[in-house]
Chains A and B, each alone.
Chain A
Amino acid sequence: EPEVTQTPSHQVTQMGQEVILRCVPISNHLYFYWYRQILGQKVEFLVSFYNNEISEKSEIFDDQFSVERPDGSNFTLKIRSTKLEDSAMYFCASRHPGQLGKNIQYFGAGTRLSVL
């Protein structure tokens, strides 16, 4: 069964460093998303991406964040200068342009980011 894959599974970084989280969405999906989940908190939307541009973003997704689809398969989230509060699990999700707008998103296993 096709799945969304994310690498690395765990990323440890020093405060102020740049990190890039990588995702390979399901191959025939056209909509891509990043979410984060701080330990013990709810899943929070960061950004959605379609047709090589951001379609929606949340207040969390400030100038420190950027997304890119550098080739036909990868979808990346970059955090330019990490802060302690960026420590969280980051989930990538993708969606097929489905029928009747059912908007079913499939999540990857996540990358746990630890900022020290």
Chain B
Amino acid sequence: QKEVEQNSGPLSVPEGAIASLNCTYSDRGSQSFFWYRQYSGKSPELIMSIYSNGDKEDGRFTAQLNKASQYVSLLIRDSQPSDSATYLCAVKAGGSYIPTFGRGTSLIVHP
């Protein structure tokens, strides 16, 4: 059974702070990792993908992957109230095109 675990939160940070969202996964064969943002009642929106160990930066977002520890994280710098949403971690194993989703972490950025 492939598992993707996330703390459900809510994670509450002040505006301008760094928000750190974490995800662990059980399948060592996983090769692709995605972070989606989902506003309440809306569809998941892809914000980051990462495939190799290390950091990947895109604007205010940085994804970090550590395959040895089976851990992937998302950092959001200079958090804004508009970043308040649920962040879904999704992991794809090497032999499948189907990502397994975590339950998501609720992020609240307060002014």
Which residues, 23 to 53 on A, are CB-close (under 8 Å) to B? 31, 33, 41-45, 48
B32 contacts A56, C-beta separation under 8 Å: no
Q: What are 30 A-B interface contacts by the 8 Å CB criterion?
A: A31-B97, A33-B98, A42-B88, A42-B102, A42-B103, A42-B104, A43-B44, A43-B90, A44-B101, A45-B98, A45-B99, A45-B100, A48-B97, A48-B98, A56-B96, A56-B98, A91-B44, A95-B97, A100-B51, A101-B32, A102-B49, A102-B51, A103-B97, A103-B99, A104-B46, A105-B46, A107-B36, A107-B46, A109-B43, A110-B43
Q: Which residues of B are found within 8 Å of A105, using beta-carbon distances?
A: 46, 99
Point out the residue from A33, A100, A106, A109 that lies within 8 Å of B42, measured CB to CB. Answer: A109
Q: Min CB distance, B9 to chain A, in Å?
A: 13
The A/B interface has a contact count, at CB < 8 Å, of 50
Q: What does the 1/0 interface line of B93-111 toward A look like (CB < 8 Å)?
A: 0001111111110000000
Q: Which residues of B are found within 8 Å of A108, using beta-carbon distances?
A: 43
Number of interface residues of B (CB under 8 A): 22
Q: Which residues of A contact B (CB under 8 A)?
A: 31, 33, 41-45, 48, 55-56, 91, 95, 100-110
